[in-house]
Amino acid sequence: MINVLVTGGNGQLAHCIKDLESLNTDLKITYTDYQELDITDLTAVKAFFKNNNVDYCINCAAYTAVDQAEKEPEKASQINVIGAKNLAVACEENKATLIHISTDFIFNGEKSSLYNEDDITSPISVYGETKLNGELQIQNVLNEYFILRTSWLYSEHGNNFMKTMIKLSKERDQLRVVSDQIGTPTYATDLASVIINLISTNNNQYGIYHYSNEGVASWYDFAKAIFEEIGSKIELLPIKTSEYPTPAKRPKFSVLDKSKIKSTLQIEIPHWRDSLRKALLKYNE
């Protein structure tokens, strides 16, 4: 039996891992949120690892309120940097493997081709900066780890763009959505499946990996696809980022190159549009 700790246990990615749990009977998964385990408290983290014989830690815990982070840099840093470091220290002491979830926001979005794992990082927001610093802390503490950078995560669980669009489609006749930020929507269940694959195959090809669904979209394209799939008649208008100013800057282009994870894990990655259909089916259930 492999003992797995999932932090951020109330988040959407943790819920998607839970959905797949019954397919993997050799995993004993414990989910904690900050009420059960405060990852910013090193003493508590060390005690938890010692008492629970953790083999793998999947760190889904993160401060992800991108705009709010501009006002609360300390809080974002506590969770995204100190929390990540504490989990790395506990993994090192207990010979556990850390699988840490990171983000496309560590890039500045100025590149016009796919971002690979070796590209220069240069975050343009407090959120991106804290996520990058979390990655660096992990690399300082551990020689062996998995850092999975992903983008535009959504699912039938939690709060996310897909669910917001469905809600707005029932409340409004017209909606304006940004069309000049380009990336790839990622179905959290697809990412959860990759994480479980890493554990169940006992993969030891450690390092940083990029994972998102295949394809390219703007937020406008993503919204349009959602409304098409649900048959909504809402009028959708594309706007520029400059017409919708936010406290935090977003990368203009952050499409991730998935070649490394595809060749390492020998996996095919679904197109975002196909995964969106699956997510909407689950949501409607």
Residues 6+ apart with CB under 8 A from 205: 264
Select from 101, 90, 79, 88 the least CA-distant residue to 48.
Answer: 90
Amino acid residing at 121: T
The upper half-sphere exposure of residue 184, i.e. CA atoms within 13 Å in the direction of its Cβ, equals 29
Name the DSSP class of 246. -
Contacts 24+ apart (CB under 8 A), 35-42: 36/9, 37/7, 39/7, 39/79, 39/83, 39/84, 39/86, 39/87, 40/78, 40/79, 40/82, 40/83, 40/86, 41/86, 42/86, 42/89, 42/90
Comparing CA positions, the residue from 183, 47, 174 lying closest to residue 104 is 183
| Distance from C-alpha of 265 to C-alpha of 268, rounded to nearest angstrom | 9
Residues with a known catalytic role: 127
In the numeric block, which tokens belong to residue 252? 């203009």
User: Which spans in 185-253 are helix H?
Assistant: 188-200, 219-230
